[in-house]
Amino acid sequence: MESIFTKSRDVFLDTINAKDYIQLDRVSTIYEALKESLRKPLKMVLLFGKPGSGKSMLLAKLYDELSEQNNIYLYQTPIVDENEFYKILVQDIFQIKYDGTLNFTQFMKITRDSVIKEVPIVLLDEAQLYAEPLLEKIRLLSDTRSIKFVITLHKTEKEDLIAKEHFQTRIWETFELENASNSELKIYIQKKLMKANCFDTANMFTPKIVDTIYKLTQGNYRETNKLLYTLFDIYSTYEKNMPNYPLNTVKIPKKFVEMAAIHTGLINA
Amino acid sequence: MLNIHDLEKRWKVYKIKSFIPYVITIALLVIVSIAYILYNEVQKLAQQKELSKTKETKITIPLKKLKPTIENNRTKKATAIQTLKPSKGFMKKEQRVAITIERGETKNDVFEVVKRFRKSGDPALSLFVAKKYYELGDYKQAYNYALITNQINPDIEESWIIFAKTLVKLHKKNKAIYTLEEYIKVSHSSNAEILLHEIKSGKFQ
């Protein structure tokens, strides 16, 4: 039988799966607003925030919920090659398999000639990784209103500039995702564990220990997942290799959190 | 699989490192306290040295030589001053002055106290000087030091009494009466009232 600690550890595996989406008040509000914006005749919607603030997860959730009823496409990994980008889009949206090279003009012609009633929605994650010329074409494409783009960008000084130069005038709606607050982080951790029926370990997260975690991760979801994965990995290792070590599901020793933080690089030791 | 032993080692190092600022702070506090105590001890020693020096001077100066200098200003009362000791109440208030009183009654001692007063600005010392000059019959100086004492601390009853007494001695009876009346209004001092009565009745001249 799988140990509670191993089970809890796997809960925090850093994967982008819509099923792992945790509903928090603030994120839910943004999510609903994002869904609403897709119903409006907007050219482009921007979702931005610091790395690990949950942009990719929100995009995955959006895709998961709307894919059955809407003409929606999600690209989590950037398609760096321009020709490849058009070919993949043509294949996915218009079901046209293109063997040769496909340039922007040809792609535009295809979109104009298409008989699709509903404007396709393209969700592009990590848009800051796209090359500048391709970003320019995406901007032009959105201008034609033949495709609606929802893009996510990292919020850093440099990447803000990219957003400014290529998208700002075309962006009709902007959503910013922020790191979790202390109380949100507690809800996030406990909901995540309870979703996997790890009730005992969920109760171990007292306000004091959450506060320690918050100080280390600043409420960043990715960092929190990494830290908690390592924390339960430490539990599992002690359980396996040192059966006499006093482990319980009442209180998390600060030592374990600090050890996890050292291992993940959150504490420099 | 995690290398738990290595991680534990790193955690121990981290814990030791995180305690360093506290250790430094405590060490600094201890050093500062020790330095403060040592400084106080050195100060005490210096004071004791100074005291012993004055004692030596007192022994070497022949009393006869001093007599003529005091003689000019001395009244009949002044001879009595030689054996005068400060009042108990005064000693209670200012222990430091008490040490000075015990060791002598010459003008040299007054100069020593004047010196100390100039350094510290302690009204107890200026009051002592005023009293000493009064006893020696140098009413002008007594007036000056009583005035200085009143300026530094206007709540010392003894200083106001000496001040009024010197005024009488300097033939400014009216001013002394006025001063005492004003002081009584504020302090309701019974000693001041007695003195005022004595001045008014001519008992104190």
Nearest CB among B1, B7, B17 relative to A259 is that of: B7
CB contact under 8 A, B2 and A263: yes
CB contact at 8 A, A61 and A18: yes
User: Same domain, yes or no, for B45 and B78?
Assistant: no
CB contact at 8 A, A73 and A120: yes
CB contact at 8 A, A149 and A181: no
**CB atoms near residue B117 (< 10 Å):** 22
CB contact at 8 A, A217 and A47: no
Chain A neighbors of B11, CB-CB under 8 A: 255, 258-259, 262, 269
Query: Which residues of chain B register pLDDT less than 50?
Result: 57-80, 94, 97, 99-102, 104
- Tell whether A258 lies on the interface with B, counting CB pairs under 8 A: yes
User: Same domain, yes or no, for B7 and B97?
Assistant: no
**CB atoms near residue A121 (< 10 Å):** 21
| Total number of domains in chain B | 2
User: Same domain, yes or no, for B82 and B157?
Assistant: yes
User: Same domain, yes or no, for B159 and B142?
Assistant: yes
For B80-112, b/e burial (b = at least 16 CB within 10 A) is: ebeeeebeeebeeebeebbebbeebbbbebbeb
What CA–CA distance (Å, rounded) separates A101 from A256?
A: 55
For residue B34, the model assigns a pLDDT of 96
**Each residue of B93-151: pLDDT tens digit?**
545 545 444 454 567 778 888 888 888 888 999 999 999 999 888 999 999 999 999 98
User: Same domain, yes or no, for B47 and B142?
Assistant: no
User: Same domain, yes or no, for B137 and B192?
Assistant: yes
Per-residue pLDDT averaged across A121-127, rounded? 92
User: Same domain, yes or no, for B130 and B197?
Assistant: yes
| Alpha carbon of A231: minimum distance to chain B alpha carbons (Å) | 11
Domains and CATH numbers, chain A: 25-177 (3.40.50.300), 180-264 (no CATH)
CA dihedral A46, A51, A52, A56 (to 10 degrees): 40
Task: Please identify, among B43, B60, B77, the residue that sits at the C-terminal boundary of a domain.
Answer: B60
- Tell whether B16 lies on the interface with A, counting CB pairs under 8 A: no
pLDDT at A119 over 50: yes
CB contact under 8 A, B14 and A269: yes
What CA–CA distance (Å, rounded) separates A253 from A266?
A: 17
CB contact under 8 A, A237 and B13: no
Nearest CB among B1, B11, B17 relative to A259 is that of: B11
Task: Please identify, among B17, B40, B60, the residue that sits at the C-terminal boundary of a domain.
Answer: B60
CB contact under 8 A, A237 and B1: yes
User: Same domain, yes or no, for B56 and B76?
Assistant: no
Number of helical H runs and strand E runs in chain A: 12, 5
CB contact under 8 A, A234 and B11: no
What CA–CA distance (Å, rounded) separates A175 from A190?
A: 26
For residue B83, the model assigns a pLDDT of 52
User: Same domain, yes or no, for B157 and B142?
Assistant: yes
Task: Please identify, among B60, B81, B99, the residue that sits at the C-terminal boundary of a domain.
Answer: B60
What CA–CA distance (Å, rounded) separates B113 from B98?
A: 11
Q: Which domain holds residue B30?
A: 1-60
Which CATH number covers residue B117?
A: 1.25.40.10
Helix boundaries (H) for A40-181: 55-66, 82-94, 104-113, 132-143, 157-162
User: Same domain, yes or no, for B69 and B130?
Assistant: yes
For residue B55, the model assigns a pLDDT of 54
Long-range contacts of A155-159 (CB under 8 A, 24+ apart): A155/A48, A155/A49, A155/A50, A156/A50, A159/A128
- 3-state SS record for A58-72: HHHHHHHHHCCCCCE
Backbone angles phi, psi at A46, to 5 degrees: -110, 130
ipTM exceeding cut-off 0.90 for this assembly: no
CB contact under 8 A, A234 and B7: yes
User: Same domain, yes or no, for B127 and B184?
Assistant: yes
User: Same domain, yes or no, for B5 and B102?
Assistant: no
